[in-house]
Chains A and B, each alone.
Chain A
Amino acid sequence: MLAGMTTNVVFGLLRVAVLVAALKAADGEIADYDVAAANTYVWIGQGLLGFVLLWGTNELAERVRSGDVVVDLYRPWNLQGALLAEDVGRSGYAFLTRLAPPMVFGMVLFPFQFPQNAFQWPLFALSALIALVISFGFRFLIDLSSFWLLDNRGLYGFWNISSGLLCGLTVPISFFPEWAREVLWLTPFPAILQAPIDVFLGHGDPAKILALQAFWAVVIIAIGHFTLNRAVRKVVLQGG
């Protein structure tokens, strides 16, 4: 855990340095972000990354490949619900071990932009929780793809590499050119990281952001449910 935290902090420091250098070159402000907001953005992002389990483990996919998934399927539960419950349960612990440390680190050592209204804190917590559900939904779909692909590591790697930029982890989405910004906000990706950060920083209307997140959470869970039903029909027992 300590090792993970070190890596997390090192990458945070690197990202802050580049963003702050860019802000300096732009006379202190780019699209709603000053130095304090950029620091806050980076450290919340580094925390959320572990909280929403952006990159996951690809464990279910490995179980599909090995055939162990059969055991999961004949248990008297809804597989999707059970795995989601696992993630949400883990989030309480992840809040303390993943989300809080980088945020506190940023608050103590860097200029930090605290929310102007106290109610932004609970809204941020809610937004982070919905983000976790959406992130789960994506990972679940990627896992399920192995029912068709058998080896889904290509797709899994694709997600691992793309999610950082698409979700707004590497650069704030408001830094993008206008057309890219508009396209990205039509997709569910910003709802995973940029949305909770925006709620915390007070960028945009929090009610709108939360509604958008809720919408994507429902959609992606529904798609997951439908895909699981299709996937189960594909299960072939190999050997006896």
Chain B
Amino acid sequence: MAETIYPRLIGARLKSQMSYRVSFAMDFLTQVLAQGYELIVILILFTRIDALGGFSQNEVLLMYAFAGAAFGVADLFAGQLDHLPTYIRTGSFDVLLMRPLRLLPQIMCSDIRLRRIGRITGALAVMGYALAHVDVAWSPAKVLLTVLTPIAGAVIYSAVWVVACSICFWIVEGREFANAVTYGSNAFTSYPINVYSRPLRWVMAFIVPGAFVAYYPSLALLEKQDPIGLPGWVGWTSPLVAALAAGVAALVWRFAVRHYRGTGS
């Protein structure tokens, strides 16, 4: 059953989003702009400096583009979890539980925000530019790494989203806590992680595995030494970290849903 329902659900969402055309066009453009503004910030900083944390403008742009593309894809699917507090507070979460479909896919299909493609497009364009302008000794393995990085990053972000939003089962208005790690880690991963203070780095780079979205894969591509001192092969582990993160997210999600008690009558 699920095979026919999800495409239909997604189709219906897409249609509904296209019905206000002007608004949709603006939404789409806004997403391209959102990605563009972060780019402008980097470019403005680099009119004043030559290197940030030891990385050149194009190297930082590469990290920013990896992070942006991964975040865009994650937001497309997992961004809907931001509505979880509403579902829990109003009790409409019960409805999701009653349907003979799995919970997470239901929520993810509840509102595929097509405009997010704007963000992804912007990030991919910058990625193309950055890859053409940084020094990479290309090899088949590195091509594979370049393709896998945004995908692994999207899985990591989505896992973070699921874990962070699970807090809403205990603290219903916990969405802003969740935002600190979801949107926060997008901001975090766009820059080389050695610019951050040690405690912040521990939390956002390794506990929330933000460093594996863009920073370490970029180091591996560029064959640069990690200023923090981790060995070079770490840059190749992002897909593993992504799998691990997804596993942890699945466990946390199950544990959290079991905690759900409904809102009463």
Can you name 16 extra interface pairs (CB under 8 A) apart from A3-B175, A154-B30, A177-B44? A3-B174, A11-B184, A13-B197, A14-B196, A14-B200, A17-B196, A18-B195, A21-B195, A22-B52, A153-B27, A154-B29, A155-B26, A164-B37, A170-B37, A175-B47, A177-B47
The answer to whether B173 and A3 have CB atoms under 8 Å apart is yes
The answer to whether B41 and A7 have CB atoms under 8 Å apart is no
Which 6 A-B pairs give the minimum distances between C-beta atoms? A154-B26, A21-B195, A3-B176, A25-B49, A154-B23, A7-B180
Give the distance in Å from the alpha carbon of A26 to the alpha carbon of B49 in the complex. 6
| A219 interface hit (Cβ, 8 Å) | no
Binding site for A on B (CB under 8 A): 20, 22-27, 29-30, 33-34, 37, 40-41, 44-45, 47-53, 171, 173-177, 179-181, 184, 187-188, 191, 195-197, 200
Give the distance in Å from the alpha carbon of A22 to the alpha carbon of B51 in the complex. 8
For this complex, 23 residue pairs linking A to B, each with C-beta atoms less than 8 Å apart, are: A4-B176, A10-B180, A11-B180, A13-B197, A14-B188, A14-B196, A18-B191, A18-B195, A21-B195, A22-B45, A25-B52, A25-B53, A30-B49, A149-B22, A149-B23, A154-B23, A154-B25, A157-B30, A161-B30, A162-B33, A170-B37, A171-B41, A177-B47
Contact residues in B for A20 (Cβ distance below 8 Å): 195
Give the distance in Å from the alpha carbon of A153 to the alpha carbon of B22 in the complex. 10
| A78 interface hit (Cβ, 8 Å) | no
Contact partner of A21 among B27, B53, B176, CB < 8 A?
Answer: B53
Chain B: which residue is nearest A25 at the CB level? B49
Chain A: which residue is nearest B203 at the CB level? A10
The answer to whether B33 and A161 have CB atoms under 8 Å apart is yes
Contact residues of A between 118 and 147, Cβ < 8 Å to B: none
Contact residues in B for A171 (Cβ distance below 8 Å): 41, 44-45
Contact partner of B171 among A3, A11, A17, A153, CB < 8 A?
Answer: A3
Contact partner of B22 among A22, A31, A154, A162, CB < 8 A?
Answer: A154
Contact residues in B for A18 (Cβ distance below 8 Å): 45, 52, 191, 195
Pick from B24, B181, B184 the residue with the most CB of A within 10 Å: B184
